[in-house]
Structure formats: C-alpha cells, structure tokens
Structure 1
Amino acid sequence: MLTVKALTFESLCVENEMLARHSSYEIGGSARFYATPETVDELICLLDACKQKGIPCEIFGYGSNILFPDEPYAEKMYISLKRMIDCNIAASGGEAKLFLAAGVPLSFLPLIGVLSDYESMYFTHLLPGTIGAGIYINAKCYEYQMSELLNRIYYIDIAKDSSSIQSIAVEDCSFAYKESIFQKRPWIIIGADFLVPNLTRERYLIIQNLLQLYKQPYTDITSLANFYKHFQAITEDISKEHKVVLPKRFQEIDEDRSSKRHFSYPSCGSVFKNNYKFGRPMGVVVDELGLKGKEYGGAMISPYHGNFIINHKQAKAADVIYLIKFVQEQVNNKHGFIPEPEVIIISE
C-alpha cells in the first residue's frame, strides 16, 4: 500500500538558499525560505502556511526577468513556479484548447507551433522564462506578444481567505505593451489555455511526452548558456525524430539573439521598456548616447546591445541598479524622459 506524504511547509521549502542559483543574472543573496512547488496543491499549502505564519511571499518563474537583492529580507519566502510543468487538451469551437501550466518554458511554444503549423508561436524561440511570467508581463518579441495566443488564464487570488482557483478571459486582462491586470492584482498565475489551430491528438501526445522528458528528471536551465544549449538540442531532436522541417524564422531569431550575445553573459535581457512615443528602441537610444561598455563594479552596459546590462565580473544587484539609474539620468538629460525598467527589481 502506498503511503501519501502529507504536505507541510517544512517538507516543501528549504532554508538559506542562494537566489543567484535561480536567476539568469546569477545575482542574489541567501533566502531564508525557498520553495519550488510542482503542483497547485503544493503551492496552496505553501501560501496557506505563509499566511498563518505571517511570512510575505515573492512569486517568480525562472528568474529570467528579475533582479534579486544582495541581502534578501530575512523573513520572506521566495517561491519559484518553474517546476509546475503540465499540459492537457480539450476541444473548443473547432480549435484545440491547450492548457499549459505556469512553469512550462516559453521556448516550448515555438515547438508546439512547429508541430501544429502555427507561426504565431514562433516568436518565443530561445526566449528564457516561463508561461506564467510571460503572461504576467505580456512578453513581446519581434512582431507578436503573449496576449495574442491566450484564451483563458487561471490564477489564485492571495488576498482572499480561500486559495481556490479562479479564471479570467483574455479580453478582461487589460493587456497592453508589457502590461497586464496581473501586475495590479495580488493574483498568482498557475496556467492558461491557448487556442492552437491544427493541434491533433497525435501532436498533443508528442508535446506531452516532450514536457515529461523535460520534467523527469528536472532540467535546470537557469544559466543562459545552459538554456541555449538545451533548447537548441531539443529543437534539433524534434526535427530529426518527427521529420519536421524547421522554419527559417527559427534560424533568423537564433542569429539575431546570438549576434547580440544574449547567451554569453548573465543578464535579464532587455532592461528597459521601449518608449513608443519617443519612436526609437532603447538599445538604439543608449548606443547613440555612447553608453555601451560603461562599467560599474561587476556590471556593464553590454557592448553588443545597449538595452542589456550584463553581469560582467561577479556583479552585485547594487552595481546593476547603479547603471540603471545612470542610463535613466543620461536619457532624461538628453531626451526629457525617464526610461521605465522592464526588469523587476526586488527590494531588500
């Protein structure tokens, strides 16, 4: 007879975990409490325990768009949803409705797109991060953004006494450029439905198998270099095993990201949102100001992309924040606006 292990706060979390191990910036001090729940039940157990103990929570995915503090607040719980990896399928008005859990990597979407002849999913090829975080920030790359793929989002409202699962239709999520309702509410995204044309049961089973292979044993791809190698290998394996011709767009995205050294140094990717009223990308604005290559401590404004601040030599969070403020000051002095950070900065 199998014994079901009771879920408890103590069994689900570890103490004194270095957050740098869970950030693509490879920056962050020791967290008193850290957890990676694999199921909704485990997440709810952690949330309920934190409420009872009066412990504040910080929820994140892979930590690919986040800057952790050098000295985290002593009593905070850091919860990563990167191990919440699941999927299922149902029919909806003639299209397949594919549920993906919050921890599914964004770079699985293009593989689903290839298997389903759905070009709109290609834009997250080699994009670090998770489904949940991508929805939260309404991730945008090239010509597409996350909100264009979604049907319904599932979440937990931590402001309520009951940690029950709720849902919201995509049209009610106030999606805009790098914005969503989830940035303004105490809601934790646990997954979403995607409408995927041409997704047959056979193709779904391929996707399900890919996720299971990724999940067991769990593969740590927090490092950008490891992330790149891992998804390049998965993409090539799918092409060979299932005789799929990879789209030209994949190669174009790979060449674009590689030319900007996206995977050469720890970073969060783009630091600032583009100011569309101003009319030029932030990378171009920083380049025109001659700021590329500027160093402070162990951080540097990337010589290859003006909107990247890289961890060049064992940088601290304070080093990155200094350069963020430096760029904001220089841009404001020259152009009269303060660039809005895209990276989420966790205060100490």
Structure 2
Amino acid sequence: MLKLHEFIENINKTQYKGKILEHEPIAPRTTMKVGGTAALLLSPSDENSICIAVSLLKAMELPWFILGGGSNVIAPDGELDAVVISTEELDSIEISEKNDEFTLIKCGAGTKTETLVDFCTENGISGLETFAGLPGTVGGAAFMNARCYGKEVSQVLHSARFLEFDPMQKNTEFHDNFIERHLKMYHNTQMGGDWAYKNSPFMQNHRFITSLTFKADRIDSDNKVRIGLECAGYIKDREDKGHFKAPSAGSVFKNDRSFGEPSGVLIDKAGLKGTEVGGAQVAPWHGNIIINRGDASSSDIKALVKTVQERVKNNTGFMLEPEIIFAEQNLC
C-alpha cells in the first residue's frame, strides 16, 4: 500500500492513542483461525482515536475494515491490502443506571459477549442469559443482530453510540471537528423496521459502533445462582451441538424462514455433512457449520461455501445466503 507509511506518519502527529501494527497476523484474531496478515492494524484505545483514524483514512482514501471478535469473519490468504481497525481496546463495562425496574449496562464495542454475561451474573442481573457462550464482541453481536435461543440482541439493546460515515464521499480533508459532525447516538425503539432477522440498522448505513448500552432486569443478588446455572445450561447446549469442537465461524448461512427449513437441514438433506475442500470441512455433526481441520485456507472455505450453495440450489432451487463475512469483500 503506497500511502501506508505516509498514513503512519500523519496519525502519529495527531492525538491518536492505541496500537499501530504493521503486517499483523489476522488468523489468531478470528475464531476460524485462517488468513494472512493486515498491511496495518490499528487498535484505538478510545472513541476519539477511532474518529481520528477514520477521518484520516477517508482523507487519504485508504480502504479499511472493522474487526471485532472475529467470530463471523474470514480473513483472506496472504496480506489484506487495507487498514484493519480492531475494537479490542474498547472493552469497558459498567452499570450506567439502576432502579427497581431495570438496569442499564454500558459497554465498549470491543467488550466480549461472555464478559457482559459474566458481569450480569456476578451482579445478579437477569435478561442476557441466552447469550452465554456466544463468541465475539457485543459490537459484533449488535451489528449482526445475533439471535440466541429465541432472543435477539435488538430485544435487549437500549442505545448505541456510533460513528457515521459516507463511503461515497472521497477526498475529504482531515479535520478536528470530525467527532462532532459524525459521532451520533442511536436509541432503540424497535420501531420503523430498523431490525430484522440477522439484520440491524448498523449494516447498510455505514455506522461504526463505539459503545452500547443494554437494558436488563433489576439487580437482585439472590438471583446469582439461578442466573449462573441458566448460563451454564446454554453453554453446555452449545458444547453438545459441537460449536466448540473445532475452529469455525459459527453458522455459515442465514436461515430463510419463508423457505420453511433451516439451512442446516437443507445442507444435511443434500448429503453434504463431512464434505471437504482442502483443510475446510462441513462439520459432520452440523450442516451449517464449516470447520478448520487444522490447515484450512480462506480459499478452501470460499470453495466449500460455493460447493454447498450449488448443491443445495440444485436440490431445492434455493440459494443459501452466507452469514459469514469475507473481509476483502467488505472493505469501507
């Protein structure tokens, strides 16, 4: 990337706080454990630094990608010729409001979902138990509107702060008031069609979530044991279903309820369980999970996804829609 070193020089002249890493391996930062390196990886330590980074990237017209917990991301083989912005340093968590009716918990976008659930358990706060064992970050869960055991993130999200940017706007100058102009607040009313199955208001509107506030039940210390047991039950169910047997990105394809059958069932009926391409394999125990058998490449996974789509389409006429994200195809 020709402007890479120029970008580093420029961002070092700002008030940016956080890591700046060149040729950083991406695979260890994803649950699928595949991929090469990022030409440059930034880990901003605060909201202001996110805004500085994005403003400068846009001013220099450099491609970039947002990386949370990497639980739904497939990194490319070789080097991703883009700047990756990791939310790993945005991991704060606190109770922002509490009363006799509810509790509000504010988290940085990079807070692990398991950290949020553990925090609620320790404080006797019920309402988020179904998300126990969900890999990734709360920012990623909100972005994807994660659904766990019948409950979606949209049902527990109170509000979110986000950076809104126009991907079509080019040649913008780096400016100090970028934060005031582009940092906004989203209040969740679940009205107006903002949310749907595996869809959120952050997907199509080019919004970088920086923090979120979740609404749960009131604090009740007497509930700690019950909440802990319920969370443990959901984690065990995930384990029994083989979610953690091998590196994966969870469900590969979205379910289309209008079609009538889950994607995993369609894949199973097509006889695809156990199908392999290189080091990638459709899990023998779950049709909608592709696993890394130890030496899978991004190319292997792409080829296997295509194979599954073609076979299911031949069998049913229905084209499966991937839920996983290929980083190089989703650059900002």
TM-score bucket of the superposed structures, by smaller chain: 0.7 to 0.9
TM-score normalised by length of structure 2? 0.83
Residues of 1 paired with 2:55 and 2:249: CA distance?
Answer: 31
Give the C-alpha shift of residue 111 in structure 1.
2.5
CA distance in 2 between counterparts of 1:253 and 1:283 reads 20
Structure 1 residues 94-109: aligned runs within 5 Å: 95-109=102-116
The letter of the residue matching 2:236 is E
| Alignment deviations for residues 81-112 of structure 1 (CA, whole Å, 9 cap, x no partner) | 02201134135895332211101111133334
> Secondary structure at the residue paired with 1:283?
helix
Aligned to 2:199: 179
Q: Does 1:195 align with 2:201?
A: no
Aligned twin of 1:226: none
Equivalent pairs counted in the alignment come to 304
Please report how far the alpha carbon of residue 347 of structure 1 lies from its aligned counterpart in structure 2 after TM superposition: 2.5
2:4 — aligned with what?
A: none
Moved more, 166-175 or 309-318: 166-175
- The aligned residue for residue 89 of structure 2 is 83
Please identify, of 80-89 and 129-138, the stretch whose mean Cα deviation from structure 2 is larger. Answer: 80-89
- Does 1:274 find its partner at 2:255? yes
2:321 partner amino acid? E
SS in 1 for 2:179: coil
1:336 is displaced (CA, Å) by 1.4
Give unmatched runs, 5+ long, in structure 1.
204-238
In the TM superposition, 1:92-131 aligns within 5 A as: 95-115=102-122, 117-131=124-138
2:237 counterpart of 1:256: yes
Query: Map of 1:33-52 to 2, 5 A cutoff?
Result: 33-52=40-59
Partner Cα distance (1:113, 1:288) in 2: 40
Using a 3 Å threshold, how does the CA distance of structure 1 residues 316 and 253 change in structure 2: closer, same or farther? same
Kindly report which structure 2 residues correspond to 1:329-344, keeping only aligned pairs within 5 A, or say none: 329-344=310-325
The superposition leaves residues 192-234 of structure 1 with CA deviations (integer Å, 9 ceiling, x where unpaired) of: 122222137xx7xxxxxxxxxxxxxxxxxxxxxxxxxxxxxxx
Unaligned runs of 5+ in 2: 1-11, 173-177
Tell me what 1:347 maps to. 328
Per-residue deviation, 1:187: 0.9
| SS of aligned partner of 2:103 | strand
Alpha-carbon separation, structure 1, partners of 2:89 and 2:219: 25
Counterpart of 2:203 in structure 1: which amino acid?
Q
> 1:116 Cα deviation (Å)?
5.4
| DSSP-derived class of the 2:309 partner | helix
Identity of aligned residues (%): 30
Call closer, same or farther: CA 1:11–1:270 in 2, change over 3 Å.
closer
Q: Which residue of 1 aligns with 2:179?
A: 163
C-alpha contact 2:163 2:210 (8 A) present in aligned 1:
yes
Deviation at 1:176, TM superposition (A): 0.6
**Matched AA of 1:170:** N
1:85–1:315 Cα change, 3 Å: same
The 1:11/1:132 distance shift into structure 2, 3 A limit, reads: closer
Tell me if structure 2 keeps the 8 A contact 1:25–1:67: yes
- Work out the CA distance in 2 between the residues paired with 1:92 and 1:39: 29
2: CA distance, partners of 1:174 / 1:284: 29
Greater Cα shift, 105-114 or 337-346 = 105-114
Give the helix-richer structure, 1 or 2: 1
**Could you tell me how far apart the structure 2 residues matched to 1:243 and 1:131 are?**
22
Change (3 A) 1:73 1:246: closer
Q: Is the 8 A contact 1:9 1:49 kept in 2?
A: no
Larger strand percent: 2
Q: CA RMSD in A?
A: 2.6
Distance 1:246 1:198, change over 3 A: closer
Give the TM-score, by structure 1 length. 0.80
